[in-house]
A and B are shown apart, each in its own frame.
Chain A
Amino acid sequence: MFWSVTQSLLGGLLTTFQIFIFTLLIALPLGLIIAFGAMSKFKPLRYLVDVLVWIIRGTPLMLQLIIIFYGPGLWLGHNIWSGNETGRITATVVAFSINYACYFSVIFRGGIEGVPVGQREAGEVLGMTKSQIFFKVTLLQMVKRVVPPMSNEIITLVKDTSLARIIAAYELTFAGYSFMKSDGLTWPLFYTGVFYLLFVGILTLLFNYIERKLDYFR
């Protein structure tokens, strides 16, 4: 029994991990773009971004996931997500990416605005272009500032992946829960918890490593 539970949970973990990693890969750059939008000199764009962030942060992620997964099928008459596991994971990644990008954007924005103006000005008088100033001067200082709040969000993301169960994606929590439903077993639930703890534990070590790596400057 232990072995078959482990196998199921590993299967669920794979889905959880896929949602996690693809969401990060999309939401990190997307969040940066949204942060630039929020800091734009062009007012309509700024307002648009403000409204988007307000809506996304102001409504439950589970609700957003339901709308994104079922909405297209109901409005267009056919489901744009294929009905298999891949389709469910894709829809989840889309919903999560939009949601997390909005949270990330607020953190990025704080990180960029926290870099003293003098840094940009020093770059300007040295004849650097805007993109050179961002990539060579601002970026690393921003990264250093955002690591602690980002690690919080990213750890939350690990556990939020369990919301994908609502559209029947077979992720880790779903896997653990199924043994309670079918066999009345509760220990797989705790076993599931151990998987999450290990996942988050590895991430915590990674964040500590990054923080130490960036400790060489102030």
Chain B
Amino acid sequence: MAILEVKNIEKHFGSTQVLKDVSFSLEEGNALAIIGSSGSGKTTLLRCLNFLETPNQGSISVKDETLFDASMPLKQHEKDLRTKRLHFGMVFQSFNLFPQYTALENVMLSAQLLAKERPDYKQNKKEILAQIEEQGKTLLDQMGLKDRMDHYPHQLSGGQQQRVAIARALALSPDILCFDEPTSALDPELTGEVLKVIRGLAEQKTTMIIVTHEMAFARDVADQIIFMDDGVIVEQGDPRQVIDNPREERTKQFLTRYTEG
């Protein structure tokens, strides 16, 4: 059964149509890579899934629960938006860590805030907070940042910041973790350490959607790939097939441009 069903998503900004009839599904434990040139709508699609943009048409369901349906009245969309969001985690191109908090505080913040809404928060405050801290430390350790937990973002390299951001997104145990060009803001030598972490997550069967320009990485790590151009899905399927033997002319052109650099 598919964990994520995206159906007929349309999005326009003013008169510019950015997404046209985008549909796809994703199996639990699979990694989906979305490739395509800048302006093809990849990032907008990811932002729609995270409710940072509201699609004009279409529906999004996770685990058979409809989170968004454009045919429903607007009120319905706003309702429980916060809890709906938690199905998805998001890792941004520019990290967007909170500069005034340490790495560990960045990872713990949202969990701490959500814990306050638990009915047993007052009684078990100490245990809950200790648990959150424990989890935060474990996640940063997993990201290879054990000795950087008390550093502030500006004291970390770009690759380290992005790994903190990944830990922060994982802290709320989202069903689907989204990456928006996670290495595009990094120097080439720092790209590897972030890709390694994402690869590790894929091996642990984390359900992921990765918008990326790293073709080799997408080919190796993804279970499924989508090529987008001009707001439509041109081709999707097995990554090796799509990258090594594209069927569509537009995919071929795009990949040739890429390999020729």
A-B complex is real: yes
Q: Is A106 part of the contact surface with B, judged by Cβ < 8 Å?
A: no
Instruction: Name A121-138 residues within 8 Å CB distance of B.
Output: 121-129, 132, 136-137
How would you classify the secondary structure of chain A's contact residues: helix, strand, loop or mixed? helix
Number of A-B contacts (CB under 8 A): 63
Select one of A119, A121, A218 contacting B154, CB under 8 A. A218
Q: Tell me whether A137 and B94 are in contact (CB under 8 A).
A: no
A5 to B255, CA, bound (A): 86
A116 with B100: in contact, given A127-B85, A136-B109, A217-B154 (CB under 8 Å)?
no
Instruction: Give Cα A128 to B114, complex, Å.
Output: 8
Complex CA–CA separation, A141 to B83 (angstroms): 26
Known contacts A119-B98, A137-B98, A217-B99: does B52 contact A127 (CB below 8 Å)?
A: no
A75 at the interface (CB under 8 A from B): no
| Contact status B100-A126, CB under 8 Å | no
Q: In the complex, which residues of chain B have a beta carbon less than 8 angstroms from the beta carbon of A216?
A: 100, 152
A184 within 8 A of partner (CB): no
A122→B85 contact, CB < 8 A: no
| Residue from B86, B92, B152, B172 in contact with A122 in the complex, judged by beta carbons closer than 8 Å | B92
Known: A118-B92, A121-B92, A136-B98. 20 other contacts (CB 8 A): A116-B94, A119-B96, A122-B98, A124-B51, A125-B88, A125-B90, A126-B109, A126-B110, A126-B168, A126-B169, A127-B85, A127-B86, A127-B172, A128-B82, A129-B82, A141-B100, A216-B100, A217-B100, A217-B153, A218-B154
A-B contacts, 8 listed (Cβ < 8 Å): A119-B96, A122-B92, A122-B97, A124-B51, A125-B90, A141-B99, A217-B154, A218-B153
Q: Which 9 A-B pairs have the closest CB atoms?
A: A126-B110, A118-B96, A122-B96, A125-B90, A218-B154, A217-B99, A217-B100, A140-B100, A127-B86
